[in-house]
Amino acid sequence: MKKLFFLTFAFTFALWGNAQINFEGWRVHLPYFKNASVTNVGSRIYCGSNSGIFVCDREDGSIERLSKITGLSDVEVKIVKYNAALKVTLIVYNNTNIDIIDEANKIIYNVPDIFLKSIIGAKSINGFCFYENKAYLACSFGIVVLDLQRKQLIDSYQNLGPNGSQLEFLAVSIFKNQIYASAANGIFAASLNSPNLNDFNFWKLTKSSTGSGLSMAYKGNLYALVDSSLQVYDGVTAWQPYLPTLGKEITSLQLSQYEAELQHLFIITPTKFYIEKGNAVPDSLDHTFRKDGVYDLKGNLSMVDDNYGLTIDNRQTNNLDYIIPGGPAARTFGRLTYENGKLWVAGGYVNDRWDPLMYNGSKFYQFSENSWYNFTEKDHPMITGLSDFLEVKKHPYANEVYLSSFGGGIIKVVNNQVVENYDESNSTLQRLSVVDPNYKPLLTGGMDFDNFGNLWVSNYGVNKPISVKTKTGWMSFNVGTVAGGNELGWLTCDDNNNKWLLSVRDKGILVYNDNGTPTQVADDQYKMLTKEVGQGALPSNTVLCASKDLNGEMWIGTNQGLTILGNPGKIFNTNKESFDARQIIIKVGTNYEIFLGKEQINCIKVDPANRKWIGTPNGVWLVSSDGYKVIKNFTTANSPLLSNNVIEIGIDEGTGEVFFGTEKGLISYMGDASGSQSDFSNVEIFPNPVRPDFTGSVSIRGLMEKSIVKIADISGNLVYETTANGGFVAWDGKNYQGKRVSSGVYLVFASTKDGAQTHVGKILFIN
């Protein structure tokens, strides 16, 4: 059992709403449209989804997000239910991890035993029921008993099938001192007083069925699915069909959590919401595709589903109120690009082999001024039918943003309006030519702008797989057999007019140079970089990413490690100078090793201080500009990172905030490197004043490139000195003796290296 202190909800909400977050602070950026479970804790309604939990307070209307940042142990919530008698909330995650929130003391207890348990086959918790001070969990391998007061597992019953075979249970209920457990072939029962509930001989198949699952004990009856229909059992007579839902599909059985004497049974179908009060004459409400429901403190029915977040059937207004916290439309993403105070996120994705198509209709999203805007077909009809958006790039010399659809071509956005869709009708882009006449996708994947403002595009699988949009129009190019095929993916332009195109069929990197004349193909040059010495010496031909740093070097990530090509301008040198890549060799003890070894490198992003953020399947690394010093390493074990599999990274160069795209969604971290300014007119110090309860670092943003920053007390005594990372400095509030400075005003002196420009600011410390 792991005990974690639970940050107050008010802090969570305040953190999200502020224009800035503290240096080294975290925040989640997740969608809350789809929710699977709901419960109420006093005035608060908890909604559980694959993004964690969001809380709606029905008294003051506030919305809060509960996540790993606020103390939860995991991300994807399958079930969340409140036990009013014990004042604890039980959270079950998709991966079988468990949290228990002690609501009285605001403490989270993690119970990871099932999550950590190694078993053969699938592992899941399918449902549970509360009984006395316990929760009985129906699992894929049997039944597990969780003591909610001791916050630990105390028993498990396994191999309960015929002759001791393993049996999966879909639901469990305690009814008249019997445990009823629903399996695929029927309902098994055993007395709670049995001497050994782990012995299959004490369990009997009390009701055979061709389709079981879902059960709930309520007011002297057991309600359960039998032969795919809802039946009722009083413990004495035979099972009887529940007539009001006869012939209807039952998707959920839930107990309401209003006042105990008014407790109702919710029977949910795809089209109706039935409220059983114990007389077999339920109320019937027309609500479609709801997954769960609960009463709020005002007696209003609150429901969750796959589309509308939290829906409240408001009895006071006779309206449906929809409550959805702001966030991106989905957890999926392609590439992330920051431009002019906005983070753009392509909402699609591709698998490792770029096998078309995913048919991901999430479109794309934008994060600006601490809020998310989702581009939809309703607001932007020109993107109707387009899916699998992968890449997003800002024109370097114009107010234009371009996005690629892996199936629908390129779109142009100006002032947040989609103004153009480039396809085979108005560009040189080509559709895939296959035997099936109904399957003709236009597979545009990677994009980038060169130094002249030309847009280069990879066009997967066609005879001219490279296209370029210039000021005068479009052109396309045939690269012959040099790339070993036309399956080209991500594309990056460097400072030498080279275009780097990654083979998605494990053949290396195609480097193409048009010699500054896109319209003249005679002087074009091509070269394939591979793992062969003298031809690139890459760690592997499976190249996953390539990024240009601020010195013009190319950092290349493969499925077998990281490498650097420090002289990309020599690739087409006629003197045949070496252009092989090099790996970073570091000393570990008495040995020398390759940094990150054969670790798969998913992505590499360069921050304003020319440091590199490196995403891998086992966490994310921040290294110095040359790669020889590890500055930070985040994993799920030492940070709120949603998943160790970091697939993509985006950096807000204005603030230094770093966005990590993981397989479980987006989360961001306030880093210590931001873009530099041309003068000192926009210097910001945060927080200011620094109050006694503040324990983080003071951030100073808006500085000029590599400014010299000195901090002194009002008497002129120097307490700190450093050089800016880009335009950013962080100070932990301590002097040279490592002690927090005393209360008072402190002066911040900033200057350029030559002292030509200076700035003086003030920080007030209150202890």
| Mean pLDDT estimate for the chain | 92
Q: Which residue has the higher pLDDT, 583 or 695?
A: 583
* Element of type H or E holding 12: helix 9-17
Report the pLDDT value the prediction gives residue 13, as an integer from 0 to 100: 31
Asked whether residue 15 carries a pLDDT value surpassing 50, the answer given is no
* Element of type H or E holding 394: strand 389-394
Same structural domain for residues 314 and 243?
A: no
The amino acid at 391: E
Asked whether residue 471 carries a pLDDT value surpassing 60, the answer given is yes
Q: Of 261-265, 318-322, 521-525, 756-760, which gets the smallest average pLDDT? A: 261-265
Q: Would you give the DSSP letter of residue 114?
A: H
Q: How many Å is the Cα radius of gyration of the chain?
A: 30
The amino acid at 35: N
Report the pLDDT value the prediction gives residue 358, as an integer from 0 to 100: 85
Same structural domain for residues 17 and 106?
A: yes
d(CA 214, CA 245): 14
Q: How far lies 754's CA from each of 423, 538, 723, in Å?
A: 52, 41, 13
Asked whether residue 140 carries a pLDDT value surpassing 90, the answer given is yes
Q: Which residue has the tokens 């070993």?
A: 484
Give CA angle at 649 (643, 650), nearest 5°.
135
Provide φ and ψ at 293, rounded to 5°.
-150, 165
Same structural domain for residues 33 and 155?
A: no
Q: Which two tokens stand for residue 451?
A: 């130094």
Residue 600 in any domain: the answer is: no
Report the pLDDT value the prediction gives residue 480, as an integer from 0 to 100: 82
Provide φ and ψ at 373, rounded to 5°.
-125, 125
Which is it for strands 204-208 and 213-218: parallel, antiparallel or unpaired?
unpaired
d(CA 203, CA 188): 6
Q: Which of 307, 324, 341 is the C-terminal boundary of a domain? A: 324
Residue 456 in any domain: the answer is: no
Nearest partner of 231 among 255, 207, 266, judged by Cα:
207
Same structural domain for residues 113 and 154?
A: no
Nearest partner of 388 among 427, 365, 358, 429, judged by Cα:
358
Q: How confident is the model at residue 20 (pLDDT cuts 50, 70, 90)?
A: low
| Residues 115-126 pLDDT 10s | 999 888 889 999
Q: Which two tokens stand for residue 482?
A: 């040099």
d(CA 43, CA 136): 27
Same structural domain for residues 57 and 145?
A: no
Report the pLDDT value the prediction gives residue 19, as an integer from 0 to 100: 43
Report the pLDDT value the prediction gives residue 77, as an integer from 0 to 100: 98
| Residues 57-110 pLDDT 10s | 999 999 999 999 999 999 999 999 999 999 999 999 999 999 999 999 999 999
Same structural domain for residues 162 and 57?
A: no
Report the pLDDT value the prediction gives residue 577, as an integer from 0 to 100: 61
| Residues 509-544 pLDDT 10s | 999 999 888 888 888 999 999 999 988 999 999 999
**Sheet harboring 88-93: ordered strands across?**
2-5, 107-111, 98-102, 88-93, 77-83
Burial of 438 (0-12, 13-18, 19+ CB in 10 A): exposed
Q: Which residue has the higher pLDDT, 188 or 11?
A: 188
Residue 494 in any domain: the answer is: no
d(CA 122, CA 168): 10
Q: How confident is the model at residue 575 (pLDDT cuts 50, 70, 90)?
A: low
Asked whether residue 9 carries a pLDDT value surpassing 50, the answer given is no
Q: How far lies 250's CA from each of 225, 284, 305, 324, 479, in Å?
A: 8, 14, 15, 26, 58
Residue 245 in any domain: the answer is: yes
Same structural domain for residues 87 and 109?
A: yes
Mind spelling out the 3-state secondary structure of 406-457? EEEEEEEEECCEEEEEECCCCCCCCCCCCCCCCCCCEEEEEEEECCCCCEEE
Q: Would you give the DSSP letter of residue 106?
A: T
- The CATH number that applies at residue 751 is 2.60.40.4070
Per DSSP, the three-state class of 328 is coil
Asked whether residue 253 carries a pLDDT value surpassing 60, the answer given is yes
Same structural domain for residues 197 and 142?
A: yes
Same structural domain for residues 106 and 123?
A: no
| Residues 180-223 pLDDT 10s | 999 999 999 999 999 999 999 999 999 999 888 999 999 999 99
Count the domains in the chain.
Answer: 3
Provide φ and ψ at 669, rounded to 5°.
-130, 130
Give CA angle at 673 (596, 446), nearest 5°.
60
Mind spelling out the 3-state secondary structure of 168-200? CCCEEEEECCEEEEEECCEEEEEECCCCCCCCH
Report the pLDDT value the prediction gives residue 260, as an integer from 0 to 100: 57
Sign, Cα dihedral of 572, 578, 579, 580: positive
Give CA angle at 560 (557, 566), nearest 5°.
40
Per DSSP, the three-state class of 343 is strand
Q: Is the omega angle on the peptide bond into residue 687 within 30 degrees of 0, that is, cis? A: yes
Q: Is the omega angle on the peptide bond into residue 356 within 30 degrees of 0, that is, cis? A: no
Global confidence as pTM: 0.90
d(CA 113, CA 468): 55
Say how far residue 462 (Cα) sits from the centre of its chain: 33
Q: How confident is the model at residue 316 (pLDDT cuts 50, 70, 90)?
A: confident
Same structural domain for residues 237 and 173?
A: yes
Give CA angle at 363 (357, 366), nearest 5°.
140
Residue 498 in any domain: the answer is: no
Q: Which of 274, 306, 324 is the C-terminal boundary of a domain? A: 324
**Cβ neighbours of residue 515 closer than 8 Å, sequence gap 6 or more:** 497, 523, 524, 525
Say how far residue 95 (Cα) sits from the centre of its chain: 16
Most distant CA pair in the chain: distance in Å?
94
Asked whether residue 8 carries a pLDDT value surpassing 50, the answer given is no
d(CA 632, CA 614): 10
Say how far residue 576 (Cα) sits from the centre of its chain: 45
Same structural domain for residues 111 and 128?
A: no
Residue 563 in any domain: the answer is: no
Same structural domain for residues 97 and 113?
A: yes
Q: How far lies 7's CA from each of 68, 98, 108, in Å?
A: 11, 18, 9
Report the pLDDT value the prediction gives residue 14, as an integer from 0 to 100: 30
- The CATH number that applies at residue 25 is 2.40.10.480
Secondary-structure breakdown of the chain: helix, strand, coil percentages, each rounded to the nearest 5: 5, 45, 50
Give the structural domain span for 751. 684-765
Q: Which two tokens stand for residue 358?
A: 């995913």
Task: For the beta carbon of residue 128, count every other beta carbon within 10 angstroms.
Answer: 24
Nearest partner of 730 among 692, 751, 758, 703, judged by Cα:
703
Q: Long-range pairs for 449-456 at CB < 8 Å and ≥24 separation?
A: 449/393, 449/395, 449/396, 449/493, 450/493, 450/497, 450/499, 451/493, 451/495, 451/497, 452/516, 453/395, 453/396, 453/397, 453/398, 454/518, 455/393, 455/395, 455/402, 455/410, 456/491, 456/493, 456/499
The answer to whether the CB of 389 falls within 8 A of the CB of 377 is: no
Q: Which two tokens stand for residue 91?
A: 């959270």
Q: Which residue has the higher pLDDT, 515 or 557?
A: 557
Report the pLDDT value the prediction gives residue 538, as an integer from 0 to 100: 96
Residue 707 in any domain: the answer is: yes
Residue 530 in any domain: the answer is: no
Mind spelling out the 3-state secondary structure of 637-668? CCCCCCCCCEEEEEECCCCCEEEEEECCEEEE
Provide φ and ψ at 56, rounded to 5°.
-110, 120
- The CATH number that applies at residue 176 is 2.130.10.10
Q: Which of 269, 302, 324 is the C-terminal boundary of a domain? A: 324
